[in-house]
């Protein structure tokens, strides 16, 4: 057993258990421009690259060093299933099971697995909304192909190759925003596509909380009454109440969640909540050969316990994923000790202040329908010298901003992280500022009312824009 005594041991652990997005370069940075162990970063991002804190490093060390053998790792893994259910369920409720995965993009494969188990000989049509505001690998994963160069076990795979020997998966992607940046309602489009594919198993992937906080209208589930449709709702931002999750479970939708966005756990850890009604149907049909090709990306310990003996996946644990889920569950517990009224007050106050700070600069322009997106995320375009910054320019500005050191930020913090650019039409793109559970807990503890730190972050963005514009 490795003892996590030094920073490099923690960094090695946090760089394992997922695809290459979590790997570090020779400067110790991930592709997001942050270090796996730099605790001096102020986090205002809504993507999966949450940064660690001093207390999280100590918690991770304690967790890792308290587990001694394989049987204890299995026990810890199984506790994740029970603790997530305990968090969401009320007393005497038991409506769903979990399928674990390293990341939200890996979760995209799970509805494909369920479809294969339910109707193995049917062609699959995989419909996904808000495609430009999901993970970059979603297009490949939706079509049953490897979206990365490595799996959760550190093994090389061929990005773009099909996982399945007989890949009969068609995809249909709906955009989130039009050219003006306004949010698109795709309901009628989706209804028409479903009508035109009665012979397919149709997966409809809704998004309830995209990178900029877009929320699909869940009433669509009630408008489509078709036995060949499997619903899946992306709640990977995990910024919503348990009531929303339970509502979706009752509507017979699987629900995707992750721990590294709102709950700001080190990436990656994820899960799909599968309604018992779907699971019971699958259990009757499942056999050891049903999904064995998915052994290249999943193990038996990712499966709901009731399916492990029936499906032929590899017998291999992912300790890094287990540790990250344990940390997420601890953060969920800490966050839920704060009264919901206080949480909402701080979210509203932060949002109002940041929008006020942004409105002080002509270089900022809030995205349309800002009031219709999740209140913990603020999205905006930047313009300078008469032109909006395009996707390439914003990426350079983002990387420069998050890799640079700053003086006198807050209590020893010297760096900031903000949400990466999201491209929504051609090369039109926007940035995001977002808060998560740790930020809100800190606001409550300090009784934050002025949000001067966020004022500094907004000023840093403008300063970097003006100083480095010609190099973007």
Which tens digit of pLDDT belongs to each residue from 170-198?
Answer: 999 999 999 988 999 999 999 999 999 99
Assigned token pair, 279: 């699971």
Provide the pLDDT for residue 404.
Answer: 94
How much is the average pLDDT of 273-299?
88
Specify the DSSP element, H or E, that contains 360: none
Angle at the Cα of 68 from the Cα atoms of 9 and 305, rounded to 5 degrees: 105
pLDDT band (50, 70, 90) for residue 6: low
Provide the pLDDT for residue 1.
Answer: 35
| pLDDT for 2 beyond 70 | no
Q: For residues 68 and 318, which has the higher predicted lDDT (pLDDT)?
A: 318
Q: pTM of this prediction?
A: 0.93
Provide the pLDDT for residue 288.
Answer: 67
Provide the pLDDT for residue 91.
Answer: 80
Assigned token pair, 40: 């001096």
Assigned token pair, 67: 């587990």
Provide the pLDDT for residue 240.
Answer: 87
How much is the average pLDDT of 121-127?
94
Provide the pLDDT for residue 16.
Answer: 87
Rounded to whole angstroms, the Cα distance separating 51 from 28 reads 13
Tell me which of 8-12, 366-370, 458-462 is least confident: 8-12
Specify the DSSP element, H or E, that contains 136: none
Provide the pLDDT for residue 7.
Answer: 64
336: left (phi over 0), alpha (psi -120 to 50) or beta: alpha
Q: For residues 65 and 88, which has the higher predicted lDDT (pLDDT)?
A: 88
Instruction: Classify the C-alpha dihedral 63-64-68-72 as positive or negative.
Output: positive
Residue (of 192, 169, 247) closest to 215 by Cα position: 247
| pLDDT for 4 beyond 70 | no
């Amino acid at each position: 057993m490795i003892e996590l005594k030094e920073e490099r041991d923690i960094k090695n652990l946090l760089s394992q258990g997922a695809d290459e997005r979590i790997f570090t370069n020779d400067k110790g940075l991930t592709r997001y421009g942050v270090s796996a162990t730099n605790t001096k970063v102020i986090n205002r991002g809504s993507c999966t690259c949450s940064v660690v804190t001093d207390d999280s490093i100590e918690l991770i060390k304690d967790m890792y060093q308290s587990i001694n053998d394989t049987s204890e790792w299995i026990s810890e893994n199984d506790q994740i299933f029970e603790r997530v259910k305990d968090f969401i369920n009320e007393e005497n409720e038991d409506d769903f099971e979990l399928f674990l995965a390293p990341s939200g993009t890996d979760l995209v494969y799970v509805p494909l697995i369920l479809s294969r188990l339910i109707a193995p000989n049917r062609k699959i049509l995989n419909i996904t909304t808000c495609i430009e505001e999901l993970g970059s690998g979603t297009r490949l994963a939706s079509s049953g192909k490897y979206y990365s160069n490595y799996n959760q076990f550190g093994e090389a795979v061929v990005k773009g190759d099909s996982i399945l020997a007989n890949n009969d998966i068609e995809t249909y992607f709906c955009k989130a925003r039009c050219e003006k940046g306004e949010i698109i309602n795709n309901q009628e489009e989706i209804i028409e596509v479903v009508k035109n594919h009665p012979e397919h198993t149709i997966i409809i992937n809704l998004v309830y909380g995209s990178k900029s906080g877009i929320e699909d209208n869940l009433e669509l589930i009630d408008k489509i009454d078709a036995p060949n449709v499997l619903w899946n709702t992306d709640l990977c931002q995990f910024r919503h109440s348990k009531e929303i999750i339970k509502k979706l479970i009752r509507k017979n939708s699987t629900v995707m969640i992750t721990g590294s966005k709102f709950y700001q756990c080190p990436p990656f850890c994820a899960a799909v909540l599968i309604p018992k009604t779907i699971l019971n149907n699958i259990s009757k049909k499942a056999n050891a050969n049903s999904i064995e090709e998915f052994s290249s990306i999943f193990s038996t310990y990712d499966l709901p316990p009731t399916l492990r003996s029936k499906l032929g996946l590899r017998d291999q644990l992912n300790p890094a994923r287990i540790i990250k889920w344990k940390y997420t569950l601890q953060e969920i517990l800490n966050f839920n000790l704060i009264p919901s009224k206080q949480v909402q007050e701080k979210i509203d106050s932060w949002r109002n202040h940041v929008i006020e700070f942004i409105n002080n600069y002509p270089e900022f322009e809030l995205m349309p329908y800002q009031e219709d997106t999740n209140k913990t995320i603020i999205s905006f375009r930047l313009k300078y010298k008469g032109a909006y910054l395009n996707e390439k320019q914003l990426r350079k500005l983002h990387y420069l901003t998050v890799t640079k050191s700053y003086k006198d930020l807050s209590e020893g913090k010297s760096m900031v992280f903000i949400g990466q650019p999201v491209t929504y039409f051609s090369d039109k793109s926007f940035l995001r500022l977002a808060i998560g559970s740790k930020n809100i807990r800190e606001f409550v503890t300090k009784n934050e009312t002025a949000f001067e730190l966020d004022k500094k972050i907004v000023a840093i963005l403008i300063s970097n824009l003006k100083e480095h514009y010609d190099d973007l």
